[in-house]
Amino acid sequence: MPSRRRVALFGARALAGTVGLAVAVVVVGAAAVVPWPTLDRAPASVLVAPVPTEQQRVCPGPLLTLAEDSSQAQAATSVGPADAEFGANATSAGSDWIRPSSTELAAPDNAKSDVDGAPRLVRVPVQDGATTVPLVGASQSQTAATDSLAGLAVAACAEAVSDAWLVGGSTDVGRTSLVLLSNPSTVVAAVDLAVYGEAGLVNAPGSTGILVQPGAQRIVSLAGLAPNLRSPVVHVSSHGGQVAAALEQSVVRGLEPGGAEIVGSSAVPGLTQRIAGLLITTQAAVAATDSTGIAEDTPSVRILVPGDTAATVELGVVGAGGQQVGIESEEGKPGGSSLQVEIQPGIATEVPLVGLIPGAYSVELRSDQPIVAAAQASSVGTAGKDFAWFSASGTLDDDFLVAVAPGPGPALHLVNTADEDATYTATPETGQPVTVTVPAGESGTLPLTASARYLVSGGRTTVASVGYSGAGLVSSFTLGQAGPLAAPIQVYPH
């Protein structure tokens, strides 16, 4: 049996262990309750604000025609010079106007560029000490009247980008479409063209890896890539240098020229697309379709779903004063204020707009899948026949500048997409301002003077275009938000 001394020693040790364990529990519990002292120190860093650089816009250059000689069917020749108008303003007050500089790009694909001119690069330097970039506006126009090409073509001078959608054109009989790729950068641009048509994506050899040299323009015949298309949509993507992309379309009806147009890029794919200033100058025929598709001279909207899922698109047309316009069915029966259509993926689809009387309209498309879109309409008058494309465009979130190239009857078309009324003021470089109040969700028009520059203020979410119309002449170009500038970045040195 254990002695009393050993029992006592064991009990003392057990008691000491229990007491020690209790003390440890108390200490840990207190550490969990009592806050520990902390030391906060932000890592060393520097906020770096990039210095604003010059802004650039590229005007697409003169109208072109392909050679009639079959041995040189892809050779392009200009048919006269284009007139450009451009300007910039450094302040929202409209008092600090700047005259940009301009130079011509090389145009090796145009046999007459030395006579008629070439694409024009407009440059606006940043003023000394400026922390913001100025507002810039630039556009060009040309009226052609030859035996093979006639009509009015106006176009915005655009920023170079890496991705663009050209919704318009045709390579059907009597139609010529040329893709204009201008590279204002200092590095070579490798451009891929994906062409969609009424039967889907076109297998087009030679449409990828198109090299555009720095400071030069390439002219690509769309018929050489995708012949016999009634409704092409072209996706332009570039690597290396960025390009300003446009599409020229011309029409010959029988033996007579039937119009010309330069189509700028449409808004990027989205669930909502808006078209400002669709100009209907002549009443369309009752028949909306013929045996080969939409009848000639019928206003229509071209829609493409770039993705893999079919889209349900609701299309609405609004006239002046916010009046909802009834869209007739293809059979000429009265329709509602909107039209719902199913658009298959990858299929360029034309939707006729029947029953529209002459006037200016805005078009809104709402879809459950991202889409791209543009509308077209024609004009007949003493100058002959002409047509125009009206591209969808994004919203302008602040003041903007409009440079009005020469042409008949220019007007600024505005769609106020805000939830409250907006009073727009167009202040010219010289002369008196003009104003218009546009209710929320409605459209308005301001008359402009050709060869003038305007600072437009008063709106915060606006879709805008400039339209021209005369006796058998019609054309349009959209106004887009300038590309995003580099934002300040936080730099953490090692």
3-state secondary structure 409-436: CCEEEEEECCCCCEEEEEEECCCCCEEE
C-alpha Rg value of the chain to the nearest Å? 31
Question: How does pLDDT run across 60-81, given as a tens digit for each residue?
Answer: 999 999 875 444 556 799 999 9
Closest CA to 261 of 170, 185, 184, 349: 170
Closest CA to 245 of 272, 220, 209: 220
The stretch 312-339 carries a mean pLDDT of 71
Mean pLDDT, the chain, integer: 86
What is the model's pLDDT at position 378? Answer: 95
- Inform me whether the pLDDT recorded for 92 exceeds 90: no
Closest CA to 184 of 118, 250, 255: 118
Q: Which helix (DSSP H) or strand (DSSP E) does residue 27 occupy?
A: helix 4-33
- 411 pLDDT band, cuts 50/70/90, is very high
What is the model's pLDDT at position 133? Answer: 77
What is the model's pLDDT at position 382? Answer: 86
- 128 pLDDT band, cuts 50/70/90, is low
What is the model's pLDDT at position 49? Answer: 56
pLDDT greater at residue 350 or residue 289: 350
- 285 pLDDT band, cuts 50/70/90, is low
Tracing tokens 């994004």 back to the chain, one arrives at 394
Q: Could you give the CA distance from residue 22 to residue 75 in angstroms, rounded to a whole number?
A: 96
Percent of the chain with pLDDT over 70: 78
What is the model's pLDDT at position 452? Answer: 97
What is the model's pLDDT at position 27? Answer: 46
pTM score, whole prediction: 0.86
What is the model's pLDDT at position 375? Answer: 98
- 383 pLDDT band, cuts 50/70/90, is confident
Indicate the range of 27-41, 268-282, 390-404, 430-444 predicted with least confidence: 27-41
Pairing of strands 64-66, 293-294: unpaired
Indicate the range of 30-39, 98-107, 241-250, 335-344 predicted with least confidence: 30-39
Indicate the range of 156-160, 240-244, 316-320 predicted with least confidence: 316-320
What is the model's pLDDT at position 23? Answer: 46
Indicate the range of 181-190, 250-259, 281-290, 319-328 predicted with least confidence: 281-290
Q: Could you give the CA distance from residue 214 to residue 192 in angstroms, rounded to a whole number?
A: 16
In the chain, where the domains are located: 270-483
Q: Which CATH superfamily is domain 270-483 in?
A: TM1070-like (2.60.290.11)
DSSP result, 219-241? EEEHHHHS-S-SS-EEEEEEEES
Output b/e per residue, 114-137; b: 16+ Cβ within 10 A.
eebbbbbbbbbbbeeeeeebbbbb
Burial of 82 (0-12, 13-18, 19+ CB in 10 A): buried
Query: Cβ distance 190 to 239 under 8 Å?
Result: yes
- 165 pLDDT band, cuts 50/70/90, is very high
Determine the residue type at 129.
G
What is the model's pLDDT at position 52? Answer: 61
